[in-house]
Amino acid sequence: MTRMPIQATRFDRLQRQGAQVLSAPFQGSWRRRSVGVLALLFGFYAGQNVTSWWLQTIGQRPVVVLSVVLLLELVVRIRTRVVQGRPPLGWLVLDNLRVGVVYAIVLEAFKLGS
């Protein structure tokens, strides 16, 4: 007995798009994946150290956080206007750096309790 083909419904398209989004980090060459992971880890490292150093240098937490948020928002706005579809390796690195920095800042905020 053969299976009936799946109809092309909105839910089916949503499932296919979700599967593509979830499997995207595992596709591509080893170079692309390893550079992406290294950029994510370096972003986390930089987020922890640079924000701590910047906070000690400037001394005012709201100024530091506002400037980091504005810089990251600027990167997101530029990327959405420039890149359509699958981003090249440079944009992948920049995105993963951004994600690592944001994760480090949020983790630091939870550690400080503010």
Q: Which own/partner pairs from 62-65 qualify as long-range (CB within 8 Å, at least 24 positions apart)?
A: 65/105
For the segment 60-83, what is each residue's pLDDT rounded down to a tens digit? Answer: 777 777 787 888 888 888 888 888
pTM (2 decimals)? 0.69
Residue 103, CA distances (Å) to 46, 51, 93 in order: 11, 12, 15
Q: How far is 94 from 36, CA to CA, in rounded Å? A: 9
pLDDT, residue 1, reads 59
> Residue 108: exposed, middle, or buried by beta-carbon count in 10 A (0-12, 13-18, 19+)?
middle
For the segment 34-54, what is each residue's pLDDT rounded down to a tens digit? Answer: 898 899 999 999 888 877 787
Domain ranges within the chain, ordered by starting residue = 28-112
